[in-house]
Chains A and B, each alone.
Chain A
Amino acid sequence: MASSRRDLQEINAGSMADIAFLLLIFFLVTTTMDVDTGIARKLPPMPEEEQIEDDSQIHARNIYVVLINSNNQLLVEGAPMHITELKDGAKAFIDNNGVLSNLSDNPEKAIISLQNDRGTSYKTYIQVQNELTKAYNELRNTAALSEFGSRYYDLPKSKQRTIRKKYPQKISEAEPKNVGNNE
């Protein structure tokens, strides 16, 4: 016993670094640093059984109708439109403040009604959602800059709420149509 204790040698720790490196490289390779990004939306709750939809209180001028067909073409307020014009169109509609008679009374009343076909591609749908979000973001940024002198996302929560109240993002999605008979 005593002799064995005396003979006990120090373990060579020289290869420790190698082992650690090996593990390090393994975790380096498997690490996914990607953060998930996306467009956040809130779905409307399911309507109650006997609830009758009452749209009559909303004046037609306060609804901006965006239709997308199965060929991914846009029809905005009854006229064909290219996707690149949608953002400016939506901005003009939201920020009209009752100037033009066919556009919204004020941003709080403005509703964007989006309807797509079952055959619409997801890519186009996201592009439209993106353009509409961009319209709201730009309006909010302008308002934030003029009122608080800072960009919307840099503002504290309470100030963001004031801006959000001024420009509420109202995007209503109608029940989809199935014109093209796509599944």
Chain B
Amino acid sequence: MSKFRRKSKGGSPAISTASLPDIVFMLLFFFMVTTVMRETTLFVDVLTPKATEIRKMEKKSLVSYIYIGSPVKRLQSSYGTKPRIQLNDAFAETADIQEFIVSERESHDEKEIPYMTVSIKADEQVKMGTVIDVKQELRKANALKINYSTRKGTY
């Protein structure tokens, strides 16, 4: 019994925190490398529909996004609530899509073009009319690989 008491009285030396910055830096670098900053500010509200049979998107750099939805609250006074299309950082019309695809292709290597995908991020309240127009433009631009962006879950 006395043996233990003596030990606890002696106290233990403080743990050296000298390597703490190293550990923190390691974590920091990990997060710095994995971070993908949001490139575009969304002007439209998009809540994608739920689906169960979903696949992960590969090669994020080869994906172009088309957002479809009603303008966000603060823009509704000037743009109304009608669903709009957003390409990159601005509202667009269906006629702008072909140009958008061309410019997306130009920014990539020629070999990568067949693997380029267009992800349609549309709000679940959007009517198919708008989506059909977008798809039709994509067909004209010969961008045939598409992906309907969805959330995981059962409806």
Contact = CB atoms under 8 A, between A and B. Distances in A.
A54 B35 CA distance: 51
Interface string A111-144: 0000011111111011101100110010000000
A137 B28 contact: no
- Give the size range of A's interface with the partner: 35 or more
A125 B122 CA distance: 12
B73 interface: no
B56 A24 contact: no
B111 to A, nearest CB: 20
A13 to B, nearest CB: 7
B144 A122 contact: no
A37 B57 contact: yes
Interface of A is mostly: mixed
A16 interface: yes
Interface of B: 17, 20-21, 24-25, 27-28, 31-32, 34-38, 48-49, 51-57, 60, 63, 68, 117, 119, 122-129, 131-132, 135, 138-140, 142-152, 155
Interface of A: 13, 16-17, 20-21, 23-24, 27-28, 30-33, 35-46, 116-123, 125-127, 129-130, 133-134, 137, 176, 178, 182-183
A137 to B, nearest CB: 6
Contacts of B36: 31-32
A38 B54 contact: yes
A116 B126 CA distance: 14
Contact of A118 (B37, B123, B128): B128
Contact of A137 (B53, B123, B131): B53
A123 B144 contact: no
Nearest to A16: B21
A182 to B, nearest CB: 6
B140 to A, nearest CB: 6
B129 A183 contact: yes
A39 B20 contact: no
Given A37-B55, A123-B125, A130-B51, 16 more contacts: A28-B31, A37-B56, A37-B150, A41-B146, A43-B146, A44-B139, A44-B144, A45-B142, A46-B140, A119-B129, A120-B127, A120-B128, A122-B68, A122-B131, A129-B51, A183-B127
